[in-house]
Every structure is written in C-alpha cells, then in structure tokens.
Structure 1
Amino acid sequence: MFSKLGQVMVYVNNQDEAVKFWTEKLGFHIISEENNGQGMRWIEVAPTKEAETSIVLHNKELVAKMSPGVNLGTPSLMFFTDNLEELYSDLTKKNVKVGEMVSLPSGKVFNFADGEENYFAVMQKG
C-alpha cells in the first residue's frame, strides 16, 4: 500500500537557475544535491526541511537522452499557503510571473511561473 507522495520530478533546462528560483524567489530549502559523477545531477528542494513531499530538479536534456520514454512535461502542482495575499505580494515584489487571484468554492488560488514558463498553482483553502 502507498503511504504518501514522496517526490515529484520536475525536468528543467537550467538546473542552476531552477534552484535559484525555488530557493531565492519561493523560499524553498535544498534538502539534498546528488551527482553520480557521470553528468547526472539532481537537486531536491522542499518548502520546509520537514516537508513530506519534495521536488527533485532534473536536467531535462540528459533525462531525455537516458530515458527516452519519460514524460518530460511539467507536472500540475498545487501548493497550499495560510496567507495567499501575502505570498502573492511577496512573489510580485520578487518579479515572479503571477496570474490573477481567483476565488473558487474550495478557496482562493493563483498560478505562478518559473523562469522556463512552467506554471504551478497555490491555494489558501477557505
């Protein structure tokens, strides 16, 4: 049986820029950084060091060569926050591309994009 979702793989063109985005703009923490010595490098980031689910940033081009069948599309991720307005303001000040804030029956939500135009969403449950 499954117990939880541990990691989500996000395939990016520029790992260094992606790490900067997730850590400097979004405030995530680097949980680990691995390098197999043969060009394969991956960086695990999460909103807190204690988070149960993390994001692993992989080199899209290298993964495509090593595993041609892997779907390299960006996963549709929904993050949660306790203060959507504050987060929206903070990301805007940091020049993160953010979408319009929308009210849904389940809560308020907006999307945001990284430097490679990968879009993610964040919600404050009502």
Structure 2
Amino acid sequence: MIRRVTHISVYVKNEDEALAFFTGKLGFKKKMDNQMGPGGPRWITVTPAGQPDFEVNLFNPASWSKGEDAAVIAAQTAQIGHQAMIILDSDDIDADYRALKAAGVTIELGVRDLPWGRDLIFQDLYGNRYNLVQSKQG
C-alpha cells in the first residue's frame, strides 16, 4: 500500500539558479546535492523547513539525458514553466506574502479570502506556479 509521497520533481533550466531561488527566496533547506557518478548529473533536493521528510528534486532534463535522447530532453524541457501547480501549506499567509514580495518573488495572485481559508499564487524563476494555502482552523 502506498503510504506517502516522499519527492516531487520540478523541471529547471539551471540547478544552481533553482537552488538559490528555493533556499534564498522560499526559505527551503538544501537536503541533497550529489553527483550521480563520475561526470554524471546532480541529484539536488530541497525541503520545506517544517517538513523534512518531503523533498523537491530540482531536475534539469538536459543534464540527465545524453544526445541520443534528444526527443526526451525536448519534451521535458518544454514542460519547464508549465508544470501542474504545486500546493504549499502556510501557517501565516500574510507574513509569507510579505517575505515573498520582499525577496522579489513574482506574485501572480495576491492573498485572497476563500470559504475554506486564504491563499495566494506565486511563480518560481521559470514560471512554474505555486499555490500557498492557509486553511481555516477546525
């Protein structure tokens, strides 16, 4: 039986830029940054401070596939900035909004009140969308 989700991958163009964005602007912690064998691609993961058992893999398709996989690389690269929205949890959406704005993160839709709580939508440096949600208590 499936028990939990441990990782998701986000397609990125540049691992170092993505790592700087997630750690510097979103406050995630770097969990892994390892070379997958001599001359191999990097396995980079970051984790939200409050959820260390869940990791976001910063996946650069071009570094994982070789020339013979050109069609695969092209298809994956085309998804950068067009992935399904990732939903994140907040315990203080107003403070998070101010921190994201101060860090220069693109806010697509500011804080709004909804029947089930409050949310906002922001983008990473490649245009991937994230929904930050603060649910109502109870």
* Partner Cα separation in structure 2 for residue 56 and residue 79 of structure 1: 15
Classify 1:57/1:94 alpha carbon distance in 2 versus 1 (closer, same or farther; 3 Å). same
**1:62 Cα deviation after fit:** 3.1
Other-structure match for 2:94 = 85
Larger CA deviation: 112-121 vs 31-40: 31-40
Could you state the TM-score of these two structures normalised by the residue count of structure 1?
A: 0.88
Q: Deviations over 1:62-90 (max 9, x none)?
A: 34655828973324210001000000011
Give the root-mean-square deviation of aligned CA atoms.
2.2
Contact 2:7 2:57 in 1 (8 A): yes
Aligned residue pairs, count: 126
User: Which one has a bigger Cα radius of gyration?
Assistant: 2
Could you state the TM-score of these two structures normalised by the residue count of structure 2?
A: 0.81
Other-structure match for 1:68 = 72
Q: Give the gaps of 5 or more residues in structure 2.
A: none
- Where has structure 1 moved over 6 Å in runs of 4 or more? none
Is the aligned partner of 1:15 residue 2:15? yes
Other-structure match for 1:57 = 58
* Partner Cα separation in structure 1 for residue 112 and residue 65 of structure 2: 36
Other-structure match for 1:30 = 30
Percent identical: 27
